[in-house]
Amino acid sequence: MTKAQLLGHAIYFLGLEERAKFENRQPLAKWGRRMYEKYRDRLETVEGGQDNMLERSYRPVQGMEFPEEVTKH
């Protein structure tokens, strides 16, 4: 995920937590907080200069690789 995507997810779950608290839905609020913290931690890791583990482990589906004529110079 990009930094912008991670930030978007974190903000979404923070808002979800706030709405759930307002509507007195405590289990949803707790889940929203956990998810917010998960994405915030990943964002801080990426901003700190470390690679995003999910991006490093990405492997394209078989048949979806770049054609050889594009990758060779």
Task: Give residue 53's pLDDT.
Answer: 56
CB 53 within 8 A of CB 65: no
Burial 50-62 (b: 16+ CB within 10 A, else e): eebeeeeeeeeee
Task: Give residue 66's pLDDT.
Answer: 60
66: helix, coil or strand? coil
34: helix, coil or strand? helix
> How is the chain split into domains, by residue range?
3-56
Name the band, by pLDDT with cuts 50, 70 and 90, for residue 73. low
What's the average model confidence in pLDDT over 67-73? Answer: 56
Give tens-digit pLDDT for 4-59.
889 999 999 999 999 999 999 999 999 999 999 999 999 998 887 765 555 555 56
